[in-house]
Structure 1
């Protein structure tokens, strides 16, 4: 799946940045300043062997950072909300990382800390270089692609170093545009995003976000479509109750399969984790199902201090009955306030922002971060798109585990097992009318 991430640059005063992710779409807009548990169960998890990256250590470092950022952003988005949630941490982080390339002083340090990035920017560049290049390489088993695009005002001259990093490290395509014709540029960007996300993300940038003061829009789009390596039988799908609370349920289509899957029970988290691979074995969806019907809030509180890098690493393969909702999720998020709460403040402040590594002056700041995302899960597989410590577990000493029945709110994510990046994440708490 492809989703865009855009950053629009405008003058520091009257600035506005807008980022949208549509099934992993992020848009950043900037403007110039106007004035100035225990072991798993069953057999140890096995999977395909992947060739090593050219910059393996840097990829590992950035992947670790990305997992931590995913956790922090999920906790921030979930806090105080009881709704479904879906976003692409890969898309969002890629767009912000491109902006980080041109950040200086405290603006750079705030972004680095929130994204958990290595201090050496070259490590960041090389890590993203290998992963983005890898994802852009077509494969037969599934569709996974990403695209980085930079729309630059004809009134802004990019520093050679910044332009080089966008092109050579983030594999970004740059285009010079006239933001005086803002509606034409908006339509052009939205059409490019729609194409990259297989028409799943439309109208990423709303009317009124771009104007003659806009100086740059950075876009990241991610698209994924995969089939389960072990598909559900459509004939086995039945209408069953999904318990939104202990006392409330809604009848929805529930898929069923009995087969070998990677599974374990994490007592510290109070949940069972099930991993379901897509064809090719590189990508998998991990479902974190609370032990209690109303246990998701408690699980989310515990996630805030856990390491997503290791949470699913001690699974074991065992035959289990799986019941999973058939569902679609669509999300549109304004991320600016969440990122500010997490610690990225100067980037959005027209007086304090220092993005002088982009064009040589401090007259740019980010005004909006918009993310739009889409996910569909059915018997065949999934389709998604977007534009932005050691856990102790307890071995279950039984041959046949209890059924894994996802009939109450749960947390999930889709991981690229080669890079260890989390491409998509969210939670399903209640059915929605399509």
Structure 2
């Protein structure tokens, strides 16, 4: 389950915003196809947010876009131009209104395996009188509710706003604003909330989950639960990024999670820098459908951020300062400007999913010399949950620290990971296991030592598992096959 909420707070008073902040466009902008430009903001946003903060990061570009689009509807002059420029939108209002309408419609999905809900709400001070044209546009193109709020009573206003956000996000984000953070001269709060719940198309079998090392940025080992499955995924090595990539579909094929994993364990920052040169759609287009063993950690991220510095760096500046022009909202809005862009997100990733097909499948990490590749996200990686049709990114971020196992690693826990080059993942001794998974049944069958291969001198090529992973047979290779 995933949820996000974004709120833009408009104040009637004036503060100063640094006019020397330089937005990031990049010399590669003109090389991006027009159809991808609206989505390219997604990458820039995630890139800039992950640059500014260590640890886990979770951003919802669609939530932030929706909030910015509601501002754009009432912005005039340079204030509007900067937002259009950052979002790569045309100048004609009718054109981007239609694009916005189409964009938001795809964020309303209700099926047994995929649920996406989104909501826009304008919380307006009861002394502000928006133009009827602005009200109509908010309702027609943004499906936005308009609610009058007494910001002079901060506790009551915060409760109203938080109750709405909690309802849209199914309780994942119970609180977005604090009463003490709501100035009495607040004129308007533009709020967006997004909720996503999806089941994997190819399930990660719970019985196949194992405890392994996740190597943090300093190469310290953190014991984490890793989910595994063997199937056909879009997978490949992206030379321009020096990273592996895999696309994991959710049911209905409309949405997927794309994971980018640096070839070298401590190269996550380089990957973040390089990503701006390679739009995500191009990266996915280079992947090939391949049988691959995918192993990723369970992870939960709760993230809160003030995004004005990020948006200023990307080029949205005037609406945050003394020269903001939001006169398209109401005649009495005066010198109001955006004083806060609050963004809250939460994600929970686990084994939940729909098992594809019945019968018995076999999960195999092959012996040396075989060709089935393995994608193991055991160090910091980037991930994106995207619309496979439009390329729009619903959620994206960086996993630096997944869920930890509450146990102290022992010598036996490291038995399958000795003689490993921690920097490059190159293993001198490769861990192998075979487990049979009864798809569609609860019974988990395990290959037994009596049926396992032996070396030419008759010695078994396995060692009994020494960790809590009772469903694994670990092989240490030596001698001739």
Which category describes the TM-score, using the shorter chain as reference length? 0.7 to 0.9
Matches of 2:243 and 2:56 in 1, distance apart? 19
Normalized against structure 2, the TM-score is what?
0.74
Is the 8 Å Cα contact of residues 15 and 365 (structure 1) preserved in structure 2?
no
- Mapped partners of 1:311, 1:247: distance in 2: 27
Shift of 1:135: 2.4
Please name the residue that 1:287 is paired with.
259
1:424 aligns with 2:395: yes
Report what 2:87 is aligned to. 115
Please give the residue correspondences for 1:4-403 in structure 2 after superposition, counting only pairs within 5 Å.
4-13=5-14, 64-245=36-217, 247-349=219-321, 351-360=322-331, 361-381=333-353, 400-403=371-374
For residues 321 and 132 of structure 1, the distance between their equivalents in structure 2, rounded to whole angstroms, comes to 35
Displacement of 1:233 in angstroms is: 0.9
How far apart, CA to CA, are the structure 1 residues paired with 2:78 and 2:347? 36
State the distance in 1 between where 2:288 and 2:257 align: 15
Q: Which whole-Å CA distance do the structure 2 matches of 1:87 and 1:356 have between them? A: 29
Given that 2:294 and 2:376 are in contact with CA atoms closer than 8 Å, whether structure 1 keeps it comes out as: yes
**Aligned partners of 1:428 and 1:402: how far apart in 2?**
22
Which secondary structure does the structure 2 equivalent of 1:374 belong to?
strand
Distance 2:282 2:233 in 1: 18
Q: Deviations over 1:172-196 (max 9, x none)?
A: 1111222222211210110110111
Question: Aligned pair in 2 of structure 1 residues 430, 138: CA closer, same or farther (>3 Å)?
Answer: closer
State the 1:346 CA deviation. Answer: 1.0
Distance apart, 1:142 and its partner CA: 1.0
Following TM superposition, by how much is the alpha carbon of 1:413 offset from its aligned partner in structure 2, in angstroms? 0.3
Shift of 1:171: 0.8
Distance 1:368 1:245, change over 3 A: closer
1:413 aligned onto 2:384: yes
Residues 310 and 12 (structure 1), Cα distance of their counterparts in 2 relative to 1, 3 Å cut: farther
Mapped partners of 1:141, 1:381: distance in 2: 8
For residues 262-294 of structure 1, what are the alpha-carbon distances to aligned partners after superposition, in whole Å with 9 as ceiling and x for unaligned? 112111110111000111111100000111111
TM-aligned CA deviation for residue 118 of structure 1 = 2.3
Give, in whole Å, the separation in 2 of the partners of 1:183 and 1:124.
36
The 3-state SS of whatever aligns with 1:122 is helix
Gaps in structure 1 of 5+ consecutive residues: 17-59, 383-397
Give the C-alpha shift of residue 258 in structure 1. 0.9
More off after superposition, 272-281 vs 312-321: 312-321
Deviation at 1:401, TM superposition (A): 4.4
Q: Which moved more, 1:220-229 or 1:417-426?
A: 417-426
**1:35 corresponding residue in structure 2:** none
- Shift of the alpha carbon at 1:117? 2.2
Q: TM-score normalized by structure 1?
A: 0.81
Q: Is the 8 A contact 2:121 2:190 kept in 1?
A: yes
> Which whole-Å deviations, capped at 9, do the CAs of 1:63-105 have from their partners, x for residues lacking one?
7334211111122112253311111011011101110111111
Q: CA 1:15–1:352 in structure 2 vs 1: closer, same or farther (change >3 Å)?
A: closer
Q: What SS does the corresponding residue of 2:128 show, helix, strand or coil?
A: coil
**Cα pair 1:15 1:367 within 8 Å, conserved:** no
Secondary structure at the aligned position of 1:180 is classed as coil
Deviation of 1:310 after TM superposition, in Å, equals 2.2
Alpha-carbon distance in structure 2 between the residues aligned to 1:121 and 1:399: 57
Could you say what the CA RMSD is over the residues aligned between the two structures, in angstroms? 2.2
1:34 matched to which residue of 2? none
User: C-alpha displacement at 1:316, in angstroms?
Assistant: 1.9
Q: Distance in 1 between matches of 2:285 and 2:90?
A: 23
| Partner Cα separation in structure 2 for residue 409 and residue 177 of structure 1 | 43
**CA distance, structure 2, for counterparts of residue 154 and residue 110 of structure 1:** 29
Residues 423 and 267 of structure 1: CA distance in aligned 2, closer, same or farther (over 3 Å): same
